[in-house]
Amino acid sequence: MQQAFNPFLPSYEYIPDGEPHIFDGRVYLYGSHDRFNGKRFCMNDYVCWSAPVDNLKQWRYEGVIWKISDDPSKKRGLFKQMYAPDVVRGNDGKYYLYYFIGTQGTIGVAVCDTPSGRYSYLGRVRYPNGKILGMNREKDIWQFDPGVFRDDDGKIYLYTGFGARCRNPLTRFRSPNVHGAMGAELEEDMLTVKLPLASIAKTRRNSKGTGFEGHEFFEASSMRKFNGKYYFIYSSVNGHELCYAMGNSPLGEFKYGGTLVSIGDVGLSEKPLNYLGNTHGSIERIGNKYYVFYHRQTNSHCFSRQACAEEIFMNGDGTFNQAEVTSCGLNGGALKAQGEYEARIACNLFSKKGVRFYVCSLPKGVHPYFTQTGCDREGDGDQYIANFCNGATCGFKYFEFSGNDKISVTVSGNGRGKMLVKESLSGDIVGAIDIDAKTTAQKFTAQLNISDGIKPLYFIFTGKGKLNFYSISF
C-alpha cells in the first residue's frame, strides 16, 4: 500500500521555498536546495522533483537543473548561494527559471526546452533602458525571491521584493533599499520589466489601516490565479506562516486574505505545536483540490528545511481556511494504523518548555529535533528525532484506527521511563510503554486502548535520559 507523508520527498532531501507548477500532467517542485547540516541557507545546486498529477505519492527525482557555477557572475564569496527560484512556461513553449543569488540583489534568468532542465543562462532582469534591476544597491530596489506568473491572456509577470525594515540580515554589510513586494509585466524577451513597477503587498512601514497589520509582507512572493481571482502568496513578518492577499488584477490592488499555513499551527492552536523558523511556498490546484506547499525546519537550526504540503480548502467567496500541518499531507486522507512509520513524519514536536524559532545553530537543551545519521543526500530512512527527553512530545496526524490494540516505539539512547500515548493533547492516556533504552535500537510495546476512527496520536516521554526516536508501529 503506497502512502504519502510529510515531508513528501525522501528523508535525505532538503528542499525549501518550493514552488509547485503543473506542466504536461506532472507537478514539478522548484525550490532552493539546503544541505543537511549546512552552515548557511541553500548551499546546494537546484534540483527538481516531479509527480504525476494523479499520483502525488510517487515523486521522481529530475536531477540537477541549475548550478551556482552555471551563473556567469564572477563574484565569488561567502554568501554566494542561490535562494528561492520560480519557473514559468513562456509563450514560446520554453521554460524560464528565475533565480536570485543571496547577496547580489539581482535576478538571473535561465531557459530550457523542458521543465526539468538543465537550464541555460539567458540574462539578468533589467529595466527598459538596459540597466540591471537591483544593480545599484544604494538607490535601486532590492530584489529578492522572484516569483513568475503567466496570465490566461499570455502576459507574464514578475514579483519580487523584501520587507525587512532595516539592513538585510543576510548580507549584513549593506542597507538595501527595500520596498516590500513589487510586481511588473515582463516583455516578450522575458528579461525586461515594463514600468512602472507596482507595489503589491504592504510592509510594516505602510500597513497601518490596510488589513495587513500583524501579517505584513516579508519575503517569498508567489502569484496564482483561481476562478478569475489573483492570489498573492507570501511569507509574513512572522516568518513561520504563509499568507495571501487577493486582487482582481495581476498588479493589484491586493487585500489581505489570511494565513494559509503556519509550520507551528500558530493561529489554530493556543501554543505553537512545532519548531518555528521561516517558511516559503505556494498553492497549486491539482485535479479539483487545492494544496499548499511549504517547508518545515529540522536539525535545530534554520539551514536544513524540507518540503511539505497540505490540502487546503477554499470557501465559496474564494478565501482559504488555514490548513493544519499533518503527517499525511498529499495522501488524500489519514494513514492506516498498520505497520511501521518513521518518527520523522511527526507533524508536531515540542519540548516541556515549548518550541523555539530556529535561526543559526541553537544549544539543544531540552529540545528534541529531527536529524539524520547519514551525511548530506545520503541514505533514505535514517532520519529520526534526537534528544527526546523528559516532557518531549511528538504528534502524528492522522491515523485511521481499526481494531488496534498494540502500540510500539523503536528507540535507542539512555532514556528510562515511560512513553505515554494519547489520542489528543488534552485527552486521556491510551497507552503507556515502559522504556529502558540501550545504545542499539530496540522496540518497546504496550497495550493500546483506542476506539476505531480517524485520530491523531501523541507520544510524550516521561523519565530520565534521552532517546533517539526512530519509529512507531501498530
Active site positions, annotated: 17, 219
User: Of 17, 22, 86, 79, whose CA–CA distance to 53 is shortest?
Assistant: 22
Nearer to ligand FUB, 220 or 419 (CB): 220
Secondary structure letter of residue 329 according to DSSP: G
Q: Which residue(s) pair with 469 in the sheet?
A: 385, 411
Is 220 a residue that touches ligand FUB (CB under 6 A)? yes
Nearer to ligand FUB, 307 or 347 (CB): 307
Q: CB atoms < 10 A from the CB of 447, how many?
A: 13
- Rounded Cα–Cα distance for residues 128 and 131 (Å): 7
Nearer to ligand FUB, 21 or 240 (CB): 240
CB of 49 to ligand FUB, least distance (A): 17
The burial class, CB within 10 Å (0-12 / 13-18 / 19+), for 405 is exposed
Is 17 a residue that touches ligand FUB (CB under 6 A)? yes
- Rounded Cα–Cα distance for residues 126 and 23 (Å): 27
CB of 315 to ligand FUB, least distance (A): 27
| Strand, helix or coil for residue 288 | coil
CB of 80 to ligand FUB, least distance (A): 13
CB of 188 to ligand FUB, least distance (A): 27
Give the CA distances from residue 424 to residues 66, 405, 457, in Å, rounded to whole numbers and listed in that order.
44, 17, 7
Q: CB atoms < 10 A from the CB of 83, how many?
A: 22
Please select the residue that binds ligand FUB; options are 7, 14, 27, 32, rule is CB under 6 A.
32
CB of 340 to ligand FUB, least distance (A): 32
- Rounded Cα–Cα distance for residues 169 and 79 (Å): 12
Q: Which grid coordinates are listed for 174?
A: 549593506
Q: Is the distance from CB of 295 to CB of 308 less than 8 angstroms?
A: yes
CB of 75 to ligand FUB, least distance (A): 18
β strands within 376-415, DSSP E: 383-389, 393-401, 406-413
Please select the residue that binds ligand FUB; options are 5, 83, 99, 234, rule is CB under 6 A.
83
Nearer to ligand FUB, 239 or 456 (CB): 239
Instruction: Give the binding-site size for ligand FUB (rule: CB under 6 A).
Output: 13
Please select the residue that binds ligand FUB; options are 219, 241, 342, 423, rule is CB under 6 A.
219
- Rounded Cα–Cα distance for residues 240 and 230 (Å): 23
Q: Which residue is nearest to ligand FUB (CB)?
A: 83
Is 27 a residue that touches ligand FUB (CB under 6 A)? no
CB of 306 to ligand FUB, least distance (A): 12
β strands within 271-422, DSSP E: 282-286, 289-297, 305-312, 335-336, 340-342, 348-350, 369-372, 383-389, 393-401, 406-413, 416-422
Secondary structure letter of residue 310 according to DSSP: E
Nearer to ligand FUB, 42 or 435 (CB): 42
Nearer to ligand FUB, 126 or 295 (CB): 295
User: Within positions 235 to 294, which residues make up the interface with ligand FUB, using CB under 6 A?
Assistant: 235, 278, 280
| 140-159 footprint of ligand FUB as x/- string (CB under 6 A) | -----x--------------
Nearer to ligand FUB, 1 or 78 (CB): 78
| Residue indicated by cell numbers 489570511 | 258
| 35-54 footprint of ligand FUB as x/- string (CB under 6 A) | ------xx------------
Q: How many CA atoms lie within 13 A of 283 on its CB side?
A: 29
Q: Is the distance from CB of 217 to CB of 180 less than 8 angstroms?
A: yes
The phi-psi region of residue 387 (left if phi > 0; otherwise alpha if psi is between -120 and 50; otherwise beta) is left
Phi and psi at residue 179, to the nearest 5°: -125, 10
| Residue indicated by cell numbers 564572477 | 74
Nearer to ligand FUB, 16 or 247 (CB): 16
Query: Where along the sequence are the contacts to ligand FUB (CB under 6 A)?
Result: 16-17, 32, 41-42, 83-84, 145, 219-220, 235, 278, 280
